[in-house]
């Protein structure tokens, strides 16, 4: 039997965002300054808003032993899980700067989606994900489930 999976999400322009989401994306943009990316020169910034309203930032941290590095999204989530135990993740915003320094899109990689999915399941509350492509195109997913359907579970 053939089945289809449809992904629904919102696509908004910068001016259409709520002030809260704009502020979170601005924090993610700021976080690109802390990226350590001497190999890819691709600076990714993430900002995670917690249920308390607090924001935890992350950025990609690369390493000469390549697999030792970590993506921006995971540094933010792991930092939040450690520094704010038990606090639910409300919204995660992700942006990137290309090697020229211009803001560009970075849709979360599969490994980061799997980590998001696990925290979402653990907290039994949906986590929103904002993915910046340009000021004219920001994608908003109301749950990690939209980004990683049929994810690994035990």
Residues that bind ligand THU in the complex, under the rule CB under 6 A: 37, 40, 42, 44, 60, 62, 69, 71-73, 106, 108-109, 112
Chain CA centroid to CA 126, Å: 14
Kindly state the smallest distance separating residue 148's Cβ from ligand THU, in Å.
12
Q: Give the residue with the Cβ less far from ligand THU, 17 or 94.
A: 94
27: β partners: none
Q: How far is the CB of 43 from ligand THU (least distance, A)?
A: 8
Nearer to ligand THU, 110 or 149 (CB): 110
Q: SS3 for 97-137, per residue? A: ECCCCCEECCCCCHHHHHHHHHHHHHHCCCCEEEEEEECCE
Identify the active-site residue in 73, 87, 100, 145: 73
Residues ≥6 apart with Cβ < 8 Å to 37? 43, 44, 60, 62
Query: Is residue 100 flagged as an active site residue?
Result: no
The Cα-based distances of 25 to 42, 128, 133 in angstroms read 17, 13, 11
Token pair, residue 33, equals 């300054």
- Among residues 17 and 44, whose Cβ is nearest to ligand THU? 44
Point out the residues that are catalytic: 73
């Amino acid at each position: 039997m053939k089945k289809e999976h449809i992904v629904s999400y919102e696509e908004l322009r910068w001016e259409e965002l709520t002030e809260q989401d704009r502020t979170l994306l601005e924090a993610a943009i700021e976080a690109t300054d802390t990226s350590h990316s001497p190999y890819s020169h691709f600076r990714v910034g993430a900002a995670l808003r917690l249920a308390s309203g607090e924001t935890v930032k992350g950025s990609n941290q690369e390493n000469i032993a390549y697999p030792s590095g970590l993506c921006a999204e995971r540094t933010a989530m792991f930092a939040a899980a450690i520094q704010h135990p038990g606090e639910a993740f409300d919204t995660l915003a992700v942006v990137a700067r290309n090697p020229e320094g211009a803001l560009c899109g970075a849709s979360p990689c599969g490994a980061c989606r799997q980590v998001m999915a696990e925290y979402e399941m653990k907290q039994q509350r949906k986590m929103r994900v904002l993915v910046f492509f340009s000021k004219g195109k920001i994608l908003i997913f109301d749950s990690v489930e939209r980004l990683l359907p049929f994810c690994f579970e035990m």
